[in-house]
Protein backbone atom coordinates (compact mmCIF):
# COMPACT_ATOMS: atom_id res chain seq x y z
CA UNK A 1 0.00 0.00 0.00
CA UNK A 2 1.22 3.49 -0.88
CA UNK A 3 -0.05 7.01 -0.37
CA UNK A 4 0.97 9.51 -3.05
CA UNK A 5 0.49 13.18 -2.23
CA UNK A 6 0.56 16.00 -4.73
CA UNK A 7 -0.48 19.62 -5.18
CA UNK A 8 1.92 21.58 -3.02
CA UNK A 9 3.70 24.69 -4.18
CA UNK A 10 4.43 28.35 -3.66
CA UNK A 11 1.54 30.78 -3.26
CA UNK A 12 1.09 34.31 -1.99
CA UNK A 13 -0.80 35.06 1.19
CA UNK A 14 -4.53 34.97 0.54
CA UNK A 15 -4.12 32.47 -2.27
CA UNK A 16 -5.36 28.90 -2.63
CA UNK A 17 -3.96 25.44 -3.19
CA UNK A 18 -5.53 22.00 -3.42
CA UNK A 19 -3.68 18.97 -2.15
CA UNK A 20 -4.52 15.43 -3.22
CA UNK A 21 -3.46 12.08 -1.80
CA UNK A 22 -4.27 8.80 -3.50
CA UNK A 23 -3.96 5.42 -1.83
CA UNK A 24 -3.06 2.43 -3.96
CA UNK A 25 -2.29 -1.24 -3.49
CA UNK A 26 -4.13 -4.24 -2.08
CA UNK A 27 -6.76 -2.18 -0.26
CA UNK A 28 -9.88 -3.71 1.21
CA UNK A 29 -11.17 -0.57 2.88
CA UNK A 30 -10.00 2.71 4.38
CA UNK A 31 -11.07 4.08 7.73
CA UNK A 32 -9.98 7.59 8.66
CA UNK A 33 -7.91 9.72 6.30
CA UNK A 34 -6.20 12.94 7.22
CA UNK A 35 -3.68 15.66 6.67
CA UNK A 36 -0.88 16.68 9.02
CA UNK A 37 1.83 19.28 8.65
CA UNK A 38 5.28 20.00 10.00
CA UNK A 39 6.86 23.42 9.89
CA UNK A 40 10.64 23.89 10.29
CA UNK A 41 11.67 23.46 13.90
CA UNK A 42 8.19 22.37 14.99
CA UNK A 43 6.47 19.10 15.72
CA UNK A 44 4.11 17.50 13.26
CA UNK A 45 0.55 18.61 13.93
CA UNK A 46 -2.91 17.55 12.86
CA UNK A 47 -4.58 19.69 10.21
CA UNK A 48 -7.79 17.80 9.47
CA UNK A 49 -9.26 14.30 9.43
CA UNK A 50 -12.25 12.70 7.76
CA UNK A 51 -13.97 9.40 8.50
CA UNK A 52 -15.20 6.96 5.88
CA UNK A 53 -18.67 8.35 6.51
CA UNK A 54 -17.59 11.93 5.89
CA UNK A 55 -17.36 13.32 9.42
CA UNK A 56 -14.60 15.89 9.68
CA UNK A 57 -12.35 17.34 12.35
CA UNK A 58 -10.13 20.42 12.02
CA UNK A 59 -7.38 22.14 13.92
CA UNK A 60 -8.65 25.46 15.27
CA UNK A 61 -6.01 27.34 13.27
CA UNK A 62 -7.43 26.19 9.92
CA UNK A 63 -11.18 26.17 10.56
CA UNK A 64 -13.06 28.14 7.93
CA UNK A 65 -10.09 28.25 5.55
CA UNK A 66 -9.13 24.63 4.84
CA UNK A 67 -11.58 21.93 3.81
CA UNK A 68 -10.95 18.19 3.80
CA UNK A 69 -12.91 15.83 1.55
CA UNK A 70 -12.53 12.34 0.15
CA UNK A 71 -13.58 10.19 -2.76
CA UNK A 72 -14.07 6.69 -1.42
CA UNK A 73 -14.35 5.18 -4.89
CA UNK A 74 -10.94 6.59 -5.80
CA UNK A 75 -9.33 6.05 -2.37
CA UNK A 76 -8.33 9.70 -2.44
CA UNK A 77 -8.37 12.47 0.14
CA UNK A 78 -8.21 16.17 -0.69
CA UNK A 79 -7.36 19.35 1.19
CA UNK A 80 -8.71 22.58 -0.30
CA UNK A 81 -6.68 25.41 1.15
CA UNK A 82 -8.09 28.95 0.86
CA UNK A 83 -7.06 32.27 2.39
CA UNK A 84 -3.59 30.89 3.01
CA UNK A 85 -1.31 32.59 5.53
CA UNK A 86 2.49 32.55 5.86
CA UNK A 87 2.08 30.48 9.03
CA UNK A 88 0.54 27.71 6.91
CA UNK A 89 3.99 27.11 5.41
CA UNK A 90 4.98 23.51 6.12
CA UNK A 91 5.44 20.07 4.66
CA UNK A 92 1.98 18.52 4.46
CA UNK A 93 1.59 14.78 4.97
CA UNK A 94 -1.43 12.64 4.25
CA UNK A 95 -2.24 9.62 6.38
CA UNK A 96 -4.79 6.84 6.29
CA UNK A 97 -5.83 3.82 8.33
CA UNK A 98 -6.13 1.00 5.82
CA UNK A 99 -7.37 -2.57 5.85
CA UNK A 100 -5.43 -4.58 3.32
CA UNK A 101 -6.97 -7.57 1.57
CA UNK A 102 -6.76 -10.56 3.90
CA UNK A 103 -5.45 -8.57 6.88
CA UNK A 104 -6.78 -9.15 10.39
CA UNK A 105 -6.26 -5.53 11.46
CA UNK A 106 -5.73 -2.11 9.88
CA UNK A 107 -2.42 -0.28 9.55
CA UNK A 108 -1.57 3.40 9.50
CA UNK A 109 0.15 4.62 6.34
CA UNK A 110 1.78 7.96 5.57
CA UNK A 111 2.41 9.76 2.30
CA UNK A 112 5.78 11.23 1.37
CA UNK A 113 4.90 14.87 2.13
CA UNK A 114 4.40 17.85 -0.12
CA UNK A 115 5.81 21.32 0.51
CA UNK A 116 3.45 24.28 0.85
CA UNK A 117 5.08 27.70 1.01
CA UNK A 118 3.03 30.85 1.55
CA UNK A 119 4.81 34.13 0.95
CA UNK A 120 3.79 37.37 2.63
Residue-level pLDDT, tens digit, the chain, 120 residues: 999 999 999 999 999 999 999 999 999 999 999 999 999 999 999 999 999 999 999 999 999 999 999 999 999 999 999 999 999 999 999 999 999 999 999 999 999 999 999 999
Q: Give the separation between CA 107 and CA 119, rounded to whole angstroms.
A: 36
- Please list the residues that pair with 12 across neighbouring strands: 119
Q: Give the separation between CA 92 and CA 14, rounded to whole angstroms.
A: 18
Q: Give the separation between CA 93 and CA 4, rounded to whole angstroms.
A: 10
Give pLDDT, residue 28.
95
Amino acid sequence: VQLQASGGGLVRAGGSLRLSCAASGTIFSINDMGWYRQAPGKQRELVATITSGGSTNYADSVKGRLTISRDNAENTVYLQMNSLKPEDTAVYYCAATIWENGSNWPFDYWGQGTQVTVSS
